[in-house]
Structures are given as structure tokens and as C-alpha cells.
Amino acid sequence: TFTPRVFSGIKPSGGLTLGNYLGAIKRWVDMQDGAMETLYCSVDLHAITVWQDPATLKKGTREIAAGMLASGIDPETSILFNQSQVPEHTQLGWILNCVARMGWMNRMTQFKDKAGKNAEKVSLGLYAYPSLMAADILLYHATHVPVGEDQKQHVELTRDIAAKFNNDFGVDFFPMTEPVIEGPATRVMNLRDGTKKMSKSGESDMERINMLDDADTIAKKFKKARTDPEGIPESVEGLEGRPEAANLVNIYAGLANSSPQAVVAEYAGAGWGTFKPALAELAVEKLAPISDEMKRLMDDPAEIDRKLARGAQRAREIATPVLERTYDIVGL
């Protein structure tokens, strides 16, 4: 049996979005106050699987940390750190590369989406990234990984890798990690195209709400968000087959700590001219204090770096014995 422990991370590959906040960070804050030990990470080694400008990447890591801190991650309660400062991630990552099978990687839908027709031209790192993600999780024997929908397949792969390792070496060393995908906003969609997820690396700024957007920008983006001619239905069933409408209701529910049912009940029959400004107002009310605090924290990068260094030290206290034991099991 494994001590319950939570691990999750975010790539510093651009500014934080409302999707990252509702699908991940906000729920990490809730879990931090539970009984489980919590580790949260800026996963910069994952960011470099696609080209990153070095100076922007350094700033991006601090922005991720500032976003977590400003949202309520307490660096004393949780272990908050930057992946590349704990070299054990890469070391375990290599071992898991030798456990994971090519066929498993070939089935990763996110790789297919990201590589597209360009699979010959993308980095080897992008292909192997799910195996490094398994290492991120298994290095801490994490039992629970709170993520958005888009990461479900990767957490399942982590279980496959853990099971094969345990089986190959005849040990019960790595846990069968559970993805924790809960709440109304596990898949926040792009505001311009309801079939794609909102992402920090998406093409147009209008398709996402950034954590650092000001009130006017947030209002403008929701106003321009794609919808359909019908407004808010009488019941949630009326959102079926209407991804853009469902998305705005889900975002509202996520921000209000409510449910789509309750939001629909409150706004039944309302048009978008009523709902969108209400949504914008709610978003500003929730996000403005966070973005103000993020800006304040980012004015003192040395202080963020100190917090991350301290977190990395604490993370290594857990990681070092796990890696040593792994080496021993493998015969290294």
C-alpha cells in the first residue's frame, strides 16, 4: 500500500489560461487542504519539446509559479517547484523510456494532434513526453493526479508503464496512479471554436482568457465568443449538441463553484446579451485579485526563485530514495 500523495504540473509554454485555472490550479488548491501531501510543478522540460525562446521560458516558469501562489497554493503546505531543478525526473524518465513500448506512444492522441502531418519533423522529446510525465508522477509514488480531460490518456499510460515495470522486475514498487478529473470545467473549450480545447499555445489570443487579461479584455472576449442563436435553455439537456453554449455555462459553473444545472436554472430563458456580461463580470470578480497578486509577485523574481529552490529541495528528499531504489531494482 502506498501513502496517498498528489502530483500535478503545468507547462511554462505561454501565459496561464482560464482552462489551466479551472481544470487544474483551482482544484489543486482544494486538494492542498485535504489530508494528502501535494506536489505541484512547473514542467519546463515538457515545454522544450517544442521550441521555446530561452528568456521567455525562464519568465514563463516564474509566471506559472506566481499563478499558483496567487491562486492560493501555499508553498509551505504544498511542495511547489520547477521540474528541471530536480534532475531525478530526467533520470527516472530514461529508465521509463526503456520500459514504455513504441506502440503505446503511437496511440497517444495528443501527439497525433500536435504533430499532425509533420510527425517526421517534430522533436523526439515531443514523442517521448508521456514517458517523462510518467516519471514525474512515479518519482513521488503519487497516487492521485488532478488534471483536465486532455491528460486522462497520459495518466492511463503512466499506469501501464508502472504495471510493466512492476511485472518485469517482479516488484510492487510503483503505484497504480488515479487521474482525478472532477468538476464542471474539466475541458474548457476555445471561445472561437467549440470543438478545440482552450490552450495557452493556441493560435489567436481571442480564443482564450489569459489569467493576466484585464477586465475590458475579458469582457470583449466573452462578448465575441462564438455561440448559437438559442440562449440559455430551460434545463441542461438543452445544451446537448451545443458545445459553445455548454462551454460558457460550464465556465460560469466552474468560476461560481456551482454546477451547470444550477447555472441553467438561474438563467433559464436568458439570451446571450444577458448571460455573457454576467459571465464576464463573474470572471473579472474571480480573476482580478489573482492577476493583481501575480503581477505583484512577478515584480520580485528573486523571491519566486527562492520559493522554487526551497520546493525543489523538499521534492528531492522524496525523489532521491525512490530513484536509488529504482536503480537498484533495475541493476544499475
Interacting residues toward ligand ADP by CB under 6 A:
8, 10-11, 13, 17, 19-20, 23-24, 147-148, 150-151, 186-188, 197-201
- Reduce the DSSP state of residue 325 to 3 states and report it: helix
Q: How far is CA 267 from CA 83, 279, 308, in A?
A: 43, 11, 43
Strands 37-42 and 79-82: parallel
CB of 319 to Na ion, least distance (A): 18
User: Order of strands, edge to edge, in the sheet holding 5-10?
Assistant: 79-82, 37-42, 5-10, 144-146, 178-180
Residue 121 a catalytic site member: no
Q: Which does 20 bind (CB under 5 to 8 A by kind): ligand ADP, Na ion, none?
A: ligand ADP
CB of 185 to ligand ADP, least distance (A): 6
Helix axes 124-138, 88-97, angle to 10 degrees: 110
Q: Which does 60 bind (CB under 5 to 8 A by kind): Na ion, ligand ADP, none?
A: none
Grid cell listed for 14: 505561454
Residue 200 a catalytic site member: yes
Nearer to ligand ADP, 164 or 226 (CB): 226
Among 26, 121, 197, 223, which one carries the catalytic annotation? 197
Q: How far is CA 227 from CA 146, 233, 239, 276, in A?
A: 29, 13, 11, 10
CB of 155 to ligand ADP, least distance (A): 10
**Residue the block writes with cell 521550441:** 51
CB of 189 to ligand ADP, least distance (A): 7
Nearer to ligand ADP, 85 or 326 (CB): 85
Determine contact, residues 284/53, Cβ cutoff 8 Å.
no
- Distance, in Å, from the CA atom of 87 to the CA atom of 132, rounded to the nearest integer, reads 12
Site track for Na ion across 9-48, x = CB under 5 A: -----------------------------x----------
Query: Is 19 a known ligand-binding residue?
Result: yes
- Distance, in Å, from the CA atom of 45 to the CA atom of 42, rounded to the nearest integer, reads 9
Nearer to ligand ADP, 20 or 326 (CB): 20
Residue 167: other Cβ atoms inside 10 A: 11
Q: Which does 13 bind (CB under 5 to 8 A by kind): Na ion, ligand ADP, none?
A: ligand ADP
Residue 197 a catalytic site member: yes
Among 58, 152, 196, 200, which one carries the catalytic annotation? 200
Query: Is 259 a known ligand-binding residue?
Result: no
Query: Is 197 a known ligand-binding residue?
Result: yes
- Distance, in Å, from the CA atom of 250 to the CA atom of 254, rounded to the nearest integer, reads 6
Nearer to Na ion, 37 or 281 (CB): 37
Cα Rg, the chain, nearest whole Å: 20
Nearer to ligand ADP, 198 or 264 (CB): 198
Q: Which does 147 bind (CB under 5 to 8 A by kind): ligand ADP, Na ion, none?
A: ligand ADP
Active site residues: 114, 197, 200
> Using CB under 5 A as the criterion, which residues of the chain lie in contact with Na ion when the complex forms?
38
